[in-house]
Amino acid sequence: MDKKLWRLYFKTLLFTLMGLCGVLAILYGIFMYMVGGLNRQSVDESSLSVNENLSVYGNQGIMNIALYGIDSQNKENKGRSDAILIASVNGKTGKIKLISIARDTYVDVPDHGKTKINHAYAYGGPELAIQTINENFHLDIKDYVSVNFDSLADVIDELGGIDLEVSEAERKQINNYLLKGEKLQESGLVHLTGPQAVSYSRIRKIDGDVMRGERQRKVLECLFKKALEINPLAYPSYVRKFAPMVETSLSNDEILKIASVGMKSGVSLEQAGLPNENIKAGGQTIKGVWYYVYDIDQAADMIEDFIYHDIPFDQYGKDMVEEKGATE
């Protein structure tokens, strides 16, 4: 190659690489600005009782995360997890699956015996709460995200509120649970403010903990749809506002992976809850305390089928469902 052409080629390549590095540096700076306010808490992976048998699904690109809605008003008190969900993010397909677990579910909490699953967070914070989920439901969760319910109300307000179908009985309960803001005046399809939406997600007296979990998933589904409507150029400001409201063990790399899934054109959200009509469950009073009691091993099997084999809970165990195939 002619020396002049070689020099020109070299300069062009050099300037291109410099420009690319500059763009990447700017993007990295924006990302660090966005997540800079996150409350990061590390967890000791060796104490989480991670189910290593699920590593056979490693090539599916699935990450399971524990989500907690905390009811503590005091930062020094860990609080009980008023909402408990498993978020399963599939980096290959763009599917996000949410599974809520009734907070009164009767499980074995390591070193504390049989009790309600939501007590684990109060006894030992997110580490014990994750370990409890992993041991009882045979999962491989290594990270968590928790949000105080007061903060969730602020997030919903920042996104402009949500629209939900609310019954008259629910409307009355919303107003009973409401801690601040205006009371809801109408039922039907209504627009809820942040405090009203959080109040809605806490309703349980009219129909129990299972429906409470369903309401929580409805609120999250509305937020999911709202997030998809946001102009990508506005992401940095929104994330920066919300970051201080969130506590998580997720690393920057993991957050980027999840964010890349959220930006896929075919991203979808699927939901399920425990207990449900497909598993024998009932309320029992044990030593004066009411619990949801059901077959935890069956529930664990249902979760594995749902996450890794795309078998919905209502199809669990049915002959029409194709047999589980070998992992890809």
Do residues 141 and 8 share a domain? Answer: no
CB 121 within 8 A of CB 70: yes
Do residues 19 and 76 share a domain? Answer: no
Token pair recorded at residue 97: 């699956």
**Structural domain of 106:** 36-315
Do residues 260 and 238 share a domain? Answer: yes
pLDDT at 33 (0 to 100): 46
- Using DSSP bridges, classify how beta strands 143-148 and 62-70 pair: parallel, antiparallel or unpaired: parallel
Do residues 89 and 226 share a domain? Answer: yes
Domain count, the chain: 2
Distances from the Cα of 148 to the Cαs of 20, 69, 94, 96, 278, in angstroms?
40, 6, 27, 22, 31
H helical segments located in the chain:
3-35, 119-137, 149-158, 168-177, 194-201, 209-229, 235-242, 252-262, 296-309
Domain annotation covers residue 190: yes
User: Whose CA is closest to 164, among 213, 194, 195, 197?
Assistant: 197
pTM, full prediction: 0.79
Domain annotation covers residue 51: yes
Do residues 27 and 40 share a domain? Answer: no
Domain annotation covers residue 298: yes
Domain annotation covers residue 323: no
Do residues 5 and 79 share a domain? Answer: no
Do residues 162 and 235 share a domain? Answer: yes
Domain annotation covers residue 324: no
Do residues 146 and 272 share a domain? Answer: yes
**Cα–Cα distance measured from residue 7 to residue 208, given in angstroms and rounded to the nearest whole number:** 75
Domain annotation covers residue 233: yes
Instruction: Find the CATH number of the domain harbouring 115.
Output: 3.40.630.190
Supply the mean pLDDT for the chain.
84
CB 102 within 8 A of CB 210: yes
Distances from the Cα of 36 to the Cαs of 168, 181, 206, 249, 251, in angstroms?
42, 30, 41, 14, 12
pLDDT in tens, the chain (328 residues): 566 665 666 556 655 666 655 544 544 444 454 556 678 899 999 999 999 999 888 778 899 999 998 875 545 556 668 889 999 999 888 899 999 999 999 999 999 999 999 999 999 999 999 999 999 999 999 999 998 877 888 889 988 999 999 999 999 999 998 988 999 999 999 999 999 999 999 898 888 888 888 898 899 889 888 887 888 777 777 777 787 888 999 988 888 888 788 776 678 889 999 999 999 999 999 999 999 999 999 999 999 999 999 999 999 877 544 554 544 4
Do residues 291 and 169 share a domain? Answer: yes
Do residues 263 and 123 share a domain? Answer: yes
Distances from the Cα of 124 to the Cαs of 129, 261, 267, in angstroms?
7, 31, 34
From the DSSP assignment, how many helices (H) and strands (E) are in the chain? Answer: 9, 13
Do residues 195 and 212 share a domain? Answer: yes
Domain annotation covers residue 206: yes
Do residues 182 and 302 share a domain? Answer: yes
Domain annotation covers residue 171: yes
Q: Mapping DSSP to helix (H, G, I), strand (E, B) and coil, where does residue 324 land?
A: coil
Percent pLDDT > 90 in the chain is 50
DSSP 180: S
Q: Which tens digit of pLDDT belongs to each residue from 60-82?
A: 889 999 999 887 554 555 666 88
